Structure 1
Amino acid sequence: MKLRKPGPGTITVGALIAIIGVIYGASIVWTEILWFRQMSATRVILTQWGAHIGLFVLGLLVATGLLYFSMAYAYRHRASSTRGQASASLRAYQEALEPVRRAAFWGVALFFGFTNGARLATEWRTLLQFLNASSFHQVDPQFGLDISFFVFVLPAIKVLVSFLMSVTGIGLAAALVVNYLYGTIRLAPRPHASKHARLQTGLMAATLSIFIGINYWLGRYELLTQDSGSIHGAMYSDINAKLPAHSILAVISFLVAVLFVVAAFRGTWRLPVTGVAVTVVAALILGGAYPALIEQFRVRPNQRTLESPYIQRNIDATLAAYGLDDVDYQTNYDAATTASAGQFDNDTLTSQVRLLDPKVI
């Protein structure tokens, strides 16, 4: 049986599926526009879609550009020649990769650019709220900042820092892989890195450490918006244990960034590696163990006294949010009754009176 090639006027199966997909997608988009137009709110859906597309494109371009530049820089400054048995196996990988190297670099960059751009696009509401923020004209009792900072500014900064931290971390990992593959970073017989590889990885690691420090610093303010169960916001252990822990970890991260910069120019990695180890240990002790010990041995034995000021903060904020902070409370109420003895003996009245179960009460 002979297969005939499709003629000029023939539509292939792939083209037909693509046309059906475009028509189906267009119908969904047009239906949404018609519905919002009927509600006189076309601007709402267009704003949402515009924010989605804009953030996705921005995240895609930034992430793809940084990742591709990181890999291309490592490749451009690759070692001119490699020796040894370990290098022989690397040369085999280099020769296998070389025909598709550019496509592989772009593929990796576009993949992570697409995922990071899509993740950034999901935060469209947070960033639009930041762009249209307004003051609450009321400050929080811990830091003295306007409440709008915690509602509009802090979430947006967290989104941007998380995005940049993710892109920098992936870029650093990609640079390490390319540098190792092309011999500018060696692990045996003893660790060694070329000048360009040392500068690239050192400065990228310093940037990543700075973002980690900023994230720890922002965590101090997030304590006031966390949900700890029945009470929203920071409690005694949060203010007296987690808050100083976040501050200390932020300072340590900034110092580690300085050590990475020094290592990038001087070539010694012992100090930044030690700094990373100290950061990990400090995060486990200060961020986890210390607050748990404070909660167990300091707060629980004297919970009513220690937690009362923070519970009162929660009550005051709730009343202010519902506009009940200026309610006039009357504690004395003299009840008066005209009931007489035997008045409720009538079955028609007692049948409508709720019986109170002392066990339930």
Structure 2
Amino acid sequence: MPRQRLAILILLAAVLGLVFFFPAATGLLTDWWWFQEIGYQVVFTREIVTKIVLFFGVGTFTGLLLFLNLRVAQRGVVPNPIMIPLGQPGQRLDVTATVRRLSLPASLGLGLLAGLGATPAWDLVLRVIHRTPFGTTDPVFARDIGFYVFSLPALSAGIATLSSLVVLLLLLMVPIYFVRGDIIIRPRQLHVERSAGMHLALLLASLLVLTALRLWFVEVPNLLFSSTGPLIGASYTDMIARLPALKLTTILAVVAALVLLVGGFRGQLVRYGVWAVGAYIVVAVLGRGVSPQLIQKFVVAPTELTRETPYLQYHIEATRKAWGLDEVETRDLVSEAGLTLADVRSNAATIENVRLWDRDPLLQTFGQLQEIRTYYDFVNVDDDRYWIDGKYRQVLLSPRELNAASLPTRTFINEHLTFTHGMGLTLTPVNQVTTEGLPVLFIQDLPPTSSVSLKVTRPQIYFGERTGEYVFVKTAQREFDHPSGEENVYASYEGTGGVRVGSLLRRIILATRFASSKILFSGDITSASRVLYYRDIMGRAAKAFPFLRFDRDPYMMIADDGTLKWILDAYTVTNRYPYAQRLGDGTSYMRNSAKIVIDAYDGAFSAYVSEPNDPLIKTWAKIFPGIFAPMDSMPADIRAHIRYPDDLYRVQTSLYTTYHMDSPVDFYQREDQWQIPVVDVADGSVPF
């Protein structure tokens, strides 16, 4: 019978492993293959290794600390153990013995949970290890901004983790000592045995010391992110009332910890504890709650502008610095110039490129004229500029992407083997219309044909904004390329993108990853086939660069060799810039630190640092060496098409309507507040 039970347990463990572990392992393994394919193994390995170190480090520390405390709490002989009667006569459960037997598995289980809970902090740990100074200090404590961006979040997380662990120990130790009879509740009296009192006093003192550390190293610096006044950052009340209160409660927390230790040593933990903790709570409530409210109401409110003027100046300067507004160049218009024929002739190139077409109606027109089949979509229209027939021309273009959801027959073969890519783009000058009022199309139709010197030689779009599904290429099934009259033209993928299918084991792993048995049994998929996944360019970039934020509007360009490239503007952001104004999501600092280029045919990445002085991108470049190249190494034909990022421009213009005011008085009274005009679009009114 024991052998049968063991066999059943082994079988059950194997089944659970297949159900839960194998799918997770296949996801991890296929991600590793993907990172190998794009050449960014360092991103994968650095994250995984850091998570493993955190898991075992935090898990081992937590489990060991729990086990030691549980063993200390159960030392010695229990004179009157609690016995719980069971169902049958004479059978009783010794609670203390049961708790002792559960100490090791409980410690292992809680250590496992703590280790898993620590793994999401992998980037926090790497940032503080590889941190880069900002070279700018805050105006109150004179600390480098890098302390608030890199070190402070790590300190906060570490102290919070230790505090939670001590609270958990207290929640476990008190019931154990109660069960053992070391804590006795009598009428109007609570007695704690001396050794138990020392143990609990040590835990309570540790919690108070951690509280003192949190107050001094976390709460005091966090005053620079306060929102209690008319600004983001420490205000008059914070500096006059809250800061002294934080310092005082820090000292009281340490004193209370010492008092608790004395009380535990003397066997009077309850008495000493009530006085120590009670005094700390009273001072904390009065100093950090009541006093600031009284000062704000009776001292600051009647003369707010006078009191807050220096802090408003800090806020204005920090916001302008954090959002790059300090680099805005202002110019005065000294007079109104008249427009002459000579002006027109000397600026002919500019006037000839004045845009007549608006993006939204042009997108609809492209759809009506050039989608050609229902399964093609034009997602958006982008501005660009090219040398065309010897002239520098501004144009509008839109890629023609495949929308698998619109296929007439949605089968595995159609969605994943046959209809694998979009095709070409439509391109029009910004300032020309036909006699019918339609756009003049420089590049149009399928396959793309050009009426100008600009040519597309590789029109297939395997990676785009609509390519959410995985596809297999180099299979026995022909790939649909484009329609030609009543017939279809087929092609075969010639690129190097994608993960090789390879052996049967790899095919099983891929079938598990994509939850499709057809991958395993399809005769069209061979060992030489390749699978393309993470094809959506936004998701693809986010997977390769999980530490960056991306502009919502990626744009396509035509390289000199006729291939199609996507350009994504990437941002480094933080919500930890002192005194700086925040967005709705908390962001208080933003830089367009990188330009990401993705080949539309094979999905290859190139990443270029566009803000080499940004401390955040410097830090990430140290964490993941080799994935970024300097902007000077970007090919000239691609560099000619980069633009100022749309999201950053919108944020900066919105902030500048207020933060162009340098004077705290003008800022407080909003004497020179600007407004951005709005235009009507299909979905309502939006900023111009």
Q: Deviations over 1:204-253 (max 9, x none)?
A: 21111100111111200011134569843222222222222211111111
Equivalent in the alignment of 1:181: 179
In the alignment, structure 2 segments of 5+ residues that lack a partner are: 86-91, 340-676, 679-688
Residue 18 to residue 175, structure 1, CA distance change in 2 (3 Å): closer
Aligned counterparts of 1:275 and 1:20: Cα–Cα separation in 2: 53
* 1:296–1:77 CA distance, 2 compared to 1 (3 A): farther
Larger radius of gyration: 2
Percent identity for Structure 1 against Structure 2: 26
1:77-226 matches, within 5 Å, as 77-79=76-78, 81-82=79-80, 90-92=82-84, 95-98=93-96, 100-188=98-186, 190-217=189-216, 218-226=218-226
Aligned to 2:315: 314
Aligned to 2:64: 65
- When residues 52 and 250 of structure 1 are mapped into structure 2, their CA distance, relative to the original with a 3 A threshold, is same
**Counterpart residue type for residue 39 of structure 1:** I
- Measure, in 1, the Cα distance between the counterparts of 2:324 and 2:61: 44
Alignment of 1:255 with 2:272, yes or no, is no
Q: Which residue of 2 aligns with 1:35?
A: 34
Listed one character per residue, the Cα deviations across residues 265-296 of structure 1 (whole Å, up to 9, x for unaligned) are 22233233111112222222222222223333
Please state how far the C-alpha of 1:179 moved relative to its aligned partner. 1.6
Tell me by how many angstroms 1:91 deviates: 4.6
For 2:132, what is the secondary structure of its paired residue? coil
Q: Say if 1:279 and 1:15 are closer, same or farther in 2 by CA, change over 3 A.
A: same
User: For the residues of structure 2 that align with 1:302 and 1:104, how far apart are their CA atoms?
Assistant: 63
> Cα gap change, 1:285/1:118 in structure 2, threshold over 3 Å: closer, same or farther?
farther
Larger strand proportion, structure 1 or 2?
A: 2
Matched-pair contact (CA < 8 Å) for 2:167–2:207: yes
Counterparts of 1:16 and 1:168 in 2: how far apart (Å)? 37
Normalised by the size of structure 1, how large is the TM-score? Answer: 0.80
CA apart distance, 1:151: 1.2
The aligned residue for residue 288 of structure 2 is 287
Cross-structure match for 2:409: none
* Offset at residue 156 of structure 1 (A): 1.0
Q: In structure 2, what is the equivalent of residue 336 of structure 1?
A: 336
**Once the 2 structures are TM-superposed, how far is the Cα of residue 126 of structure 1 from its aligned partner?**
1.3
Change (3 A) 1:207 1:23: closer
1:317-353 Cα shifts (integer Å, max 9, x gaps): 23333455466655x54222448xxxxxxxxxxxxxx
Give 3-state SS (helix, strand or coil) of 1:123's partner. Answer: helix
Cα shift at 1:132? 0.7
Flag structure 1 segments of 5+ consecutive residues without an equivalent. Answer: 340-353, 356-361
Task: Report SS of the residue matched to 1:126.
Answer: helix
Aligned to 1:345: none
Question: Which residue matches 1:233?
Answer: 233
Question: For residues 64 and 56 of structure 1, what CA distance do their matches in structure 2 show?
Answer: 11
CA-CA distance at 1:163 after TM superposition = 1.1
Task: From the superposition, tell whether residues 293 and 174 of structure 1 become closer, same or farther in structure 2 (CA, over 3 Å).
Answer: same
How far apart in 2 are the matches of 1:196 and 1:151?
Answer: 44
Q: How many Å apart are 1:305 and its aligned residue?
A: 2.3
TM-score under structure 2 normalisation? Answer: 0.44
Residue 350 of structure 1 aligns with which residue? Answer: none
Please give the alpha-carbon distance, in whole angstroms, between the structure 1 residues aligned to 2:63 and 2:184: 27
Closer, same or farther: CA 61–306 of 1 in aligned 2, 3 Å: same
State the structure with bigger RCO (CA 8 A, min sep 6), 1 or 2. 1
- The 10-residue stretch of structure 1 (223-232 or 238-247) with the greater mean CA deviation from structure 2: 223-232
Distance of 1:202 and 1:21 partners within structure 2: 43
In structure 2, distance between residues paired with 1:176 and 1:167: 14
Corresponding letter in the other structure for 2:190 = P
CA gap of 1:244–1:289, structure 2 versus 1, over 3 A, is same
Tell me which amino acid in the other structure corresponds to 1:239: M
Q: Is the 8 A contact 1:120 1:159 kept in 2?
A: no
Q: Partner of 1:54 in structure 2?
A: 53
2:143 is paired with a residue of what secondary structure? coil
The 2-side partners of 1:32 and 1:187 are apart by: 58
Which residue type is aligned with residue 210 of structure 1? V
2:182–2:196 contact (8 Å) kept in structure 1 = yes
3-state SS of paired residue (1:187): strand
Check conservation: 1:237, 1:299, Cα contact below 8 A.
yes
Which one is further off, 226-235 or 193-202?
A: 226-235
Contact 1:67 1:174 in 2 (8 A): no
